[in-house]
A and B are shown apart, each in its own frame.
Chain A
Amino acid sequence: MRNLLIFITKYNAFFLFLIFEIASFIIYIKYNSFQKASFINSTAEVTGNLYARTDELKGYLSLRDVNDNLVRENARLRNQLKTSLYLDTAGKKRVIDTNYKQQYEYIAAKVINNSVNKRNNYITIDRGSNNGIAKGMGVITDAGVVGKVVFVGPHMAIVQSLLHKDTRFSAMLAAHKEIGYLEWGEDVDPHKGLLIDVSNNARPKIGEQVVTSDLSLFPAGIPLGKVSKLNAKGGGFFLNMEVALAVDFSKLQYVYVIVNRFAQEQAGLEAQEKKDE
Chain B
Amino acid sequence: MSRVIIINLIRFVLLVFLQVFLLKNIALYNLSTPYLYILFILLLPFEIPNVLLFALAFILGLTIDAFYDTPGLHAASCVLLALVRILFISVTVQKDGFDNEPEPTLSIMGFRWFFSYALILTLFHHFFLFNLEVFRFSELEYTLTRFLLSSIFTVFLMLVSGLLFFRKKERK
The reply to whether B72 and A27 form a contact with Cβ atoms under 8 Å apart is: yes
Contacts of A20 in B (CB 8 A): 54-55, 57-58, 75, 79, 82
**Residues on the A chain within 8 Å of B27, using CB:** 116-117
CB of A28 within 8 A of CB of B132, answer yes
Chain A residue contacts of B72, Cβ below 8 A: 24-32
A26→B24 CA distance, assembly (Å): 25
- What is the bound-complex CA distance between A29 and B76, given in angstroms? 11
Does more than half of chain A's interface fall in helix, strand or loop, or is it mixed?
helix
A54 within 8 A of B: yes
A230 at the interface (CB under 8 A from B): no
What's the Cα separation between A241 and B20 when bound, in Å?
Answer: 36
In angstroms, Cα B84 to Cα A261, docked, is 56
Q: Which residue of B lies closest to A120 (CB)?
A: B133
Say whether B86 faces chain A, with CB atoms less than 8 Å apart. yes
Question: C-beta contact mask, A39-68 vs B, less than 8 Å → 1, else 0?
Answer: 011101011001100100000000000000
Q: CB-CB contacts of B45-57 with A at 8 A, as 1s and 0s?
A: 0000011001101
Instruction: Enumerate chain A residues within 8 angstroms of B51, measured Cβ to Cβ.
Output: 12, 16
Closest Cβ of chain B to A237, distance in Å, is 22
Supposing A44-B66, A188-B142 touch, asked if A28 and B76 sit within 8 A by C-beta, the answer is yes
Binding site for B on A (CB under 8 A): 12-14, 16-17, 19-21, 23-32, 35, 37, 40-42, 44, 46-47, 50-51, 54, 115-119, 122, 158, 186-190
Q: A13-B50, A32-B71, A50-B20 are in contact. List 18 more A-B contacts (CB 8 A).
A: A17-B79, A17-B82, A20-B57, A20-B82, A21-B79, A26-B72, A27-B75, A28-B70, A28-B75, A30-B72, A35-B69, A40-B62, A41-B69, A44-B66, A50-B67, A54-B21, A116-B27, A117-B27
